[in-house]
Amino acid sequence: MEIKVRRNNTKLDKLDLTILKTLQENPKLRIRDLAEKLQIPKSTIYYRLKQLESQGIIKKYGVILDSEKLGFEYVVIIQVRGKYGPKYHEEIGKFLSKNPYVQGVYYVLGDIDFIVIGKFPSKAKYMEFLEQLINSSIIERTSTMVVAKVIKEETCLHIDSESIQGT
C-alpha cells in the first residue's frame, strides 16, 4: 500500500509510516534497535530514514521537555491583527517568531491574522514581549488569553493509513 503525501507528491508506504510512528514514540532508538523492533534490515532502515529526512518529512529529532517543571508556567495564546500591506503576513510572521519564548505562530483567516502560542518563564517576560508588539508599527492590535490549565498538549501526529489516505 502506498500513500501519497501532500506538497511534493512523495509516496509513503506502510514501512515508512511504521518508522515514523515508532520514532515519534521513541526518538532515541538507534537504527539497529529500530531494525530489530520492526524486523527489517538495518540498511533498509538507514535508507528510508535518509529519504524521509531529505524529503523534509523528518525535520529533526529531539526530546519533549515538561515546560511547567522547568518553570515556563506563563502560557499565553495571543491573537494578533497586523497592518495590511504587501506580504505583511511574511514580515509579521518573522517578527513574531523571533521571540525565543514563542512556541508557534499561525497565520489564520478571519477577523485576526495570527495566533501566537507562547510559554514564558514569568509574567514580566511576557510583558516585555507584549511591549514589543504594542510598539511595533506593523501590529494593529493584540488580544491575549492566559492559559489557566493545559488539558491536552501533543506534539506527535496521529499516523495511520486512514488518516493520510485522503491527501
List, for residues 130-155, the tens digit of each pLDDT value.
999 999 999 999 999 999 999 999 88
Domains 2-63 and 74-146 share a fold: no
138 φ/ψ angles, rounded to the nearest 5 degrees: -100, -5
Q: For the chain, what are the domain ranges?
A: 2-63, 74-146
List, for residues 4-57, the tens digit of each pLDDT value.
565 566 788 999 999 999 999 999 999 999 999 999 999 999 999 999 999 999
| CA 41 – CA 44 distance, rounded (Å) | 5
Residue 166: which pLDDT band, with cuts at 50, 70 and 90?
very low
**Is the pTM value of this prediction over 0.75?**
yes
| CA 105 – CA 96 distance, rounded (Å) | 7
2-63: CATH class: mainly alpha
Residues 6+ positions from 119 with CB-CB distance below 8 Å: 67, 72, 74, 75, 101, 103
pLDDT number for residue 8: 60
All 3 cell numbers of residue 86?
504587501
The average pLDDT across 92-101 equals 97
pLDDT number for residue 6: 54
| CA 98 – CA 90 distance, rounded (Å) | 13
Residue corresponding to grid cell 530514514: 49
Q: Does domain 74-146 have CATH number 3.30.70.920?
A: yes
